């Protein structure tokens, strides 16, 4: 049993509970023990990053300090933004002893540099590995045409994330192929969905997410597969508004990659929280024989 520190992040407690659910089920199935960081707090997200650099670095670093109590080597983070913030905070304190001292004063705790901060996708793809994942596949997703959508924060900027290729990442493609899905190629893997403008500038989000949805429809994909709950929310929840704007009805399920892993491992639709998406994947998955 592999033991790692787990940082779910605020969204996975609320609107993205389905992501959290599928992550926990899949990791358990793969023999990975996720130990939630005791009393973890918000990473500061985009508001702290925008408004106060010191606050942003300190909130992220606070969680690294909390994880020290657990005596694990890895911190695994499903949310790409939390992942980038915690990793960036670690890099910022490593790069400057002055920053490190200031941050330690602000959080009232010591930091050490040895924790390995990983995105969940990176952890599953590279540390658990494709072979171990392939060994668990019971129901291959044959004939399911999927488009992997990585979004921004997982891969950009490469100087921070140091993960995959920032323009043409392939780690999720590889993982989905192992599950038996038909993985389509496209140019929109790391285009922006509108991210944190989700609430304050809904028009911008409909424009940006709309471009992604339109392209996915053009490629005749059965589903978009995401690794980020903010991408999921923007692409799924705004789809009705985007349909209205484009004057055509889109019906494109936006599914977490962990949910597809769960289905391929033989878990049920409901067990993975898939009934919670606004654009229901049920009809498509039934038509393709993935679920009964």
Partner 1 sequence: MFRLKGISKEKAFLEQVMERSGQNLLKCLQCGKCSGSCPITTQQVGGPRRLIAQILSGMEEAALRDPTWWYCVSCGSCATRCPVEINTYAVATTLCEMAAEKGIKPSEAGIHRFEELFLKSVEKNGRVRELHTVMEFNLRSLRPFADAAIGIRMALKGLITPTAMLSKVRSDEKVTQIFQNIQQKQKQKA
Contact footprint for partner 1 (CB under 8 A): 10-11, 13-15, 17, 39-42, 44-56, 58-59, 62, 102, 105-108, 152-153, 156-161, 166-167, 190-192, 194-197, 199-202, 204, 208, 237-238, 240, 275-278
CB 113 within 8 A of CB 90: yes
CA 283, 19, 252 angle in degrees (round to 5)? 30
Computed on alpha carbons and rounded to an integer, the radius of gyration of the chain in Å comes to 19
- CA-CA distance, 177 to 223, in Å (whole number)? 14
DSSP state of 126: I
- Judged by beta carbon, residue 115 or residue 208, the one nearer partner 1 is 208
Which strands form 145-149's sheet, in the order they lie side by side? Answer: 182-183, 145-149, 223-226, 254-256
- Judged by beta carbon, residue 85 or residue 125, the one nearer partner 1 is 85
Minimum Å gap between C-beta 203 and partner 1 is 11
Minimum Å gap between C-beta 21 and partner 1 is 12
- CA-CA distance, 6 to 77, in Å (whole number)? 6
Minimum Å gap between C-beta 132 and partner 1 is 31
- Judged by beta carbon, residue 21 or residue 183, the one nearer partner 1 is 21
- Judged by beta carbon, residue 278 or residue 287, the one nearer partner 1 is 278
Minimum Å gap between C-beta 198 and partner 1 is 9
Scanning the structure block, which residue is given the tokens 């670093």? Answer: 61
Minimum Å gap between C-beta 56 and partner 1 is 8
- From first CA to last CA, the distance across the chain in angstroms is 32
- Judged by beta carbon, residue 127 or residue 243, the one nearer partner 1 is 243
């Amino acid at each position: 049993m592999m033991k790692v520190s787990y940082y779910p992040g605020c969204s996975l407690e609320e609107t993205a509970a389905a992501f959290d659910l599928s992550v926990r089920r899949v990791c358990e199935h793969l023999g990975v023990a996720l130990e939630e960081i005791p009393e973890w707090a918000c990473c500061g997200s985009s508001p702290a990053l925008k408004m106060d650099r010191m606050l942003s670095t300190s909130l992220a670093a606070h969680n690294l300090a909390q994880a020290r109590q657990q005596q694990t080597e890895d911190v695994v983070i499903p949310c790409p933004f939390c992942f980038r913030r915690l990793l960036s905070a670690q890099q910022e304190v490593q790069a400057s002893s002055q920053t490190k001292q200031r941050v330690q004063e602000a959080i009232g705790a010591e930091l050490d540099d040895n924790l390995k901060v990983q995105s969940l996708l990176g952890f599953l793809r590279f540390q658990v590995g494709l072979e171990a994942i392939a060994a668990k596949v019971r129901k291959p997703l044959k004939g399911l045409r999927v488009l992997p959508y990585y979004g921004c924060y997982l891969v950009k900027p490469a100087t921070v994330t140091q993960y995959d290729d920032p323009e043409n990442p392939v780690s999720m493609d590889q993982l989905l192929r192992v599950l038996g899905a038909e993985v389509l190629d496209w140019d929109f893997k790391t285009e922006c969905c509108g991210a944190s403008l989700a609430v304050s500038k809904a028009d911008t989000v409909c424009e940006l997410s709309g471009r992604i949805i339109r392209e996915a429809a053009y490629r005749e994909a059965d589903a978009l597969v995401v690794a980020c709950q903010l991408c999921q929310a923007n692409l799924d929840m705004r789809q009705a508004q985007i349909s209205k704007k484009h004057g055509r009805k889109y019906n494109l399920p936006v599914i977490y990659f962990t949910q597809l892993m769960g289905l391929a491992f033989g878990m049920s639709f409901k067990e993975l929280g898939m009934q919670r998406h606004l654009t229901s994947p049920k009809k498509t998955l039934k038509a393709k024989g993935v679920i009964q």
